[in-house]
Chains A and B, each alone.
Chain A
Amino acid sequence: MSKVQVLVGTKKGAFVLTSDGTRRKWDVNGPLFAGWEVYHLKGSSVDPNRIYASQTSGWFGQIIQRSDDGGKSWEPAGGGPTTTPDGMPKGESNKFAYEGEIGKHLWYDGTPHPWEFKRVWHLEPSLTDPDTVYAGVEDAALFRSTNAGKTWQELPALRSVKGHLWQPGAGGMCLHTILLDKTNPNRIYVAISAAGVFRTDDAGKTWRPATQGLKSAYELPDKKSEVGHCVHRIAMHPSRPNVLFMQKHWDVNRSDDAGESWDEVSGNLPSDFGFPIDVHAHEPNTVYVVPIKSDSEHYPPEGKLRVYRSRTGGNEWEPLTNGLPQSDCYVNVLRDAMAVDSLDKCGVYFGTTGGQVYASADAGDNWTPIVRDLPGVLSVEVQTLP
């Protein structure tokens, strides 16, 4: 029988939640890296035993951890501490050095400010090579490792796309989304708060903004501005890589031409503000979002935690509430904290800032909390295992 493994990053460590394919009973393992913020964990689709984790701390900086046994054991990717002094590798798995001239972006007050590495927000393993993994970092940039996380090199052309005009959002200037196109290994999309969406068609040598059609009237008075849109998350179905869905600061958007243009599909949502967005594993037109009241009030409208599902690729949305708190609920769901499994029926999972991880084994019709009292959840990823 298939097995499901949910990888949960929280503000105080990581947790691994496992169940068989029924998804009724769950084992909880953790905290891993206890006391550290774990922004993201993600397994390789080529080798599910290979999992990367971003462990970070305001005190001690960034650590990249790697598991080669499906999450049972972990070592810093640059080499563990147990080897002998003569054999120790240089500890550079946490060295994220910007290429060339550091450059400056806009600070909150509109003045130029030098790029400063703070943390890794998102790790995206290659679709073809378990030793290759991308890292989206704050201050926003894209790094790649081709040796399983031991060393990292920036893909610097991204920051040359009007990087001097990028500005941090309230959460920092983070590159939080990396989408790889399995039909075109040279095509990568990244999303940055608050800079926008960018696409490369030559594996990172050159990039261009992919923001035409986005409307950010409050944040960007210039309607033609290519950069500065506060994109919270983008998602695609692997079978249809030219169709993208986006949760922006305000507005849910859709592109049918690989990001060349965008249309708003917020439709009947009670609020089009939110953070995560994801696509059903088997229905490319079924999309999930979690509406949040506003940019000033980061909790569900009316204190009711509702996932909204569209089976029409946007515009027509239905609330999914069975099993979710429908009164006095004031948690948030962060941008990397929703994921789907690939079982039939598709499982949907999300974590909250209140430490709950909810699971639906029937594509969102019914929800059950796997755990209720973890630290605030930063990220949720799912591995569907044989």
Chain B
Amino acid sequence: MIRVELPFHLRTLARVEREVTVDVIGPVTVRTVLDAIETRYPVLCGTIRDHVTQQRRPFLRFYACEEDFSNAPMDTPLPEAVTSGKEPFSIIGAIAGG
């Protein structure tokens, strides 16, 4: 079971709390976690990564275990602490605007 932290507006959209959990079958990577999130909460499709290009939205960041996975290849394995559920995978809105 993977713990995922969502930013405020995506929580509101999916009507969930700050942290949700998803099951990932196979390797736990950025891609498989996002796949699981979008399968569990289809309303979030297109809000974290572009529908067509599947690229991360420019103002979102992915963090886990104090590491920045935003620009890592999507198939990069996530740390064991995320895989085991000890630490969350965090999707964060970048600071921007006024």
Residues of A within 8 A of B (CB): 34-36, 57-63, 76, 78-82, 85, 88-92, 94-97, 117
A76 contacts B9, C-beta separation under 8 Å: no
Which of B25-33, B52-60, B62-70, B81-89 touches A?
B52-60
B14 contacts A36, C-beta separation under 8 Å: no
- What residues of chain B lie closer than 8 Å to A81, measured between beta carbons? 13-16, 41, 43
Min Cβ gap A89→B in Å is 6
A76 to B45, alpha carbons, bound, how many Å?
11
CB-CB nearest in chain A for B10: A60
Best-buried of B8, B15, B47, B96 by chain A (most CB within 10 Å): B47
Answer yes or no: B44 CB below 8 A from chain A CBs. yes
Answer yes or no: B38 CB below 8 A from chain A CBs. yes
Min Cβ gap A142→B in Å is 17
Min Cβ gap A86→B in Å is 11
Given the contacts A59-B59, A59-B93, A60-B57, A80 and B9 also touching, CB distance less than 8 Å: no
A76 contacts B57, C-beta separation under 8 Å: no
B57 contacts A78, C-beta separation under 8 Å: no
B52 contacts A97, C-beta separation under 8 Å: yes
CB-CB nearest in chain A for B47: A60
Min Cβ gap B50→A in Å is 7
A27 to B57, alpha carbons, bound, how many Å?
37
Answer yes or no: B79 CB below 8 A from chain A CBs. no
- What residues of chain A lie closer than 8 Å to B60, measured between beta carbons? 59-60
B15 contacts A94, C-beta separation under 8 Å: no
Given the contacts A58-B97, A81-B13, A94 and B59 also touching, CB distance less than 8 Å: no
A36 to B48, alpha carbons, bound, how many Å?
15
Please list 29 pairs of residues, one from A and one from B, whose beta carbons are closer than 8 Å in the complex, sorted by A's number: A34-B12, A35-B8, A36-B9, A57-B9, A58-B59, A59-B9, A59-B57, A59-B59, A59-B94, A60-B47, A60-B48, A60-B57, A60-B60, A61-B47, A63-B13, A78-B42, A80-B43, A81-B13, A82-B15, A88-B42, A89-B42, A90-B42, A90-B45, A91-B43, A92-B45, A92-B51, A94-B45, A94-B46, A94-B47
Min Cβ gap B71→A in Å is 17
CB-CB nearest in chain A for B16: A81
Best-buried of B14, B39, B51, B93 by chain A (most CB within 10 Å): B51
Partner of B46, one of A59, A79, A85, A95: A95
Could you count the A-B residue pairs with CB atoms below 8 Å apart for me: how many are there? 71
Partner of A79, one of B7, B16, B43: B43
Best-buried of A34, A58, A89, A96 by chain B (most CB within 10 Å): A58
Partner of B42, one of A35, A36, A79, A117: A79
- What residues of chain B lie closer than 8 Å to A60, measured between beta carbons? 9-10, 13, 47-48, 57, 60, 93
Min Cβ gap B20→A in Å is 11
Given the contacts A60-B10, A79-B42, A94 and B93 also touching, CB distance less than 8 Å: no
Residues of B within 8 A of A (CB): 7-10, 12-16, 38-48, 50-52, 57, 59-60, 93-94, 96-97
- What residues of chain B lie closer than 8 Å to A97, measured between beta carbons? 51-52
A91 contacts B9, C-beta separation under 8 Å: no
A88 to B50, alpha carbons, bound, how many Å?
20
CB-CB nearest in chain A for B40: A85
A239 to B62, alpha carbons, bound, how many Å?
54
Given the contacts A59-B94, A95-B51, A78 and B43 also touching, CB distance less than 8 Å: yes
Partner of B45, one of A57, A95, A117: A95
A35 to B46, alpha carbons, bound, how many Å?
18
- What residues of chain B lie closer than 8 Å to A85, measured between beta carbons? 39-40
CB-CB nearest in chain B for A88: B42
A60 to B46, alpha carbons, bound, how many Å?
8
CB-CB nearest in chain B for A117: B52
CB-CB nearest in chain A for B97: A58
A91 contacts B15, C-beta separation under 8 Å: no
A81 to B11, alpha carbons, bound, how many Å?
11
B15 contacts A61, C-beta separation under 8 Å: no
- What residues of chain B lie closer than 8 Å to A94, measured between beta carbons? 45-47, 51
Best-buried of A60, A78, A89, A94 by chain B (most CB within 10 Å): A60
- What residues of chain B lie closer than 8 Å to A34, measured between beta carbons? 12
- What residues of chain B lie closer than 8 Å to A92, measured between beta carbons? 45, 51
A78 to B60, alpha carbons, bound, how many Å?
23
Min Cβ gap B19→A in Å is 16
